[in-house]
Amino acid sequence: MSTSLLVTKDNSHTVYSEKYKAHYHSLFGSVEESTHVFISAGLYKTYRKGLEQISIFEMGFGTGLNAFLTLLDAEHLKLSINYDSIESDPLDKSITQDLNYDYLLSTNKSEDRLSQLHTSAWNKEISIGSQFKLRKLRGLIDEHQFDRTYDLIYYDAFAPSSQPELWTEKIHRPLYEALNPGGILVTYCTQGAFRRMLQGLGYGVERLNGPGKKREMLRATKSK
């Protein structure tokens, strides 16, 4: 897959995909966007429920930024996290080895957590540190058979304009069924048809302030 590395306005990297004609993260700030949408609105909302362990499913491992931010916060909060992430088109090592998230964010440069995320084996659960278990799943979301349930979903697929098939009920009904009662899904996408589809599945959907120049994002909660 042809890709190129770009620096965003908060000095963190994003990647441009020629295949999907889309950026992996916002040009206004990759770290700012991921922190706002997935960590603040997702992980911290779930953490405040008082769970001792949180199980997360991520759609689109991509640059590993969401996983990396989650790993750092798991260590900071002393929170046990099981993290599954599915990816159909993994980035090449020539891209991942140059990503600057570890340099910008990690306080312990010697441990190189970002590299561990990217070099870990596919389809095998591994521990990174004492608080974080990662299972990277190589494959297509519409072919995935869920074998566990989750408290939180990071839905970080390319936008509907690039991959409209990933924003349909066919994809999201199995995700809804794999989510624990009271669990939440967070995403940057606020498309009206997508929001209405989530509501039709049974989610309570909130429009929250978006990151940077993006006006809104969505947080969807599964009824208990």
Q: Which residues contact 184 (CB under 8 A, 6 or more apart)?
A: 42, 45, 46, 151, 152, 153, 219, 220, 221, 222
Residue 7 lies inside a defined structural domain of this protein: no
**Quick one: pLDDT band at residue 224, thresholds 50, 70, 90?**
confident
Question: Does position 111 have pLDDT exceeding 70, yes or no?
Answer: no
Q: Does position 66 have pLDDT exceeding 60, yes or no? A: yes
Residue-number span of the structural domain to which 33 is assigned: 29-222
The predicted pLDDT at position 107 comes to 66
Count: domains in the chain: 1
Task: Report if residue 10 sits inside a domain.
Answer: no
Query: Is the CB of residue 113 less than 8 Å from the CB of residue 64?
Result: no
Of all residues in the chain, what percent carry a pLDDT higher than 90?
Answer: 90
Q: Is residue 52 part of a domain?
A: yes
User: Any bridge partners for residue 14, and if so which?
Assistant: 6
Instruction: Give dist(CA 82, CA 128) in Å, integer.
Output: 11
* pTM of the shown model: 0.96
CATH number at residue 90: 3.40.50.150
What does the alpha-carbon distance between residue 105 and residue 169 come to, in Å, rounded to a whole number?
A: 36
Cβ pair 98, 15 in contact under 8 A: no
Q: Is residue 146 part of a domain?
A: yes
In a domain, 23, yes or no: no
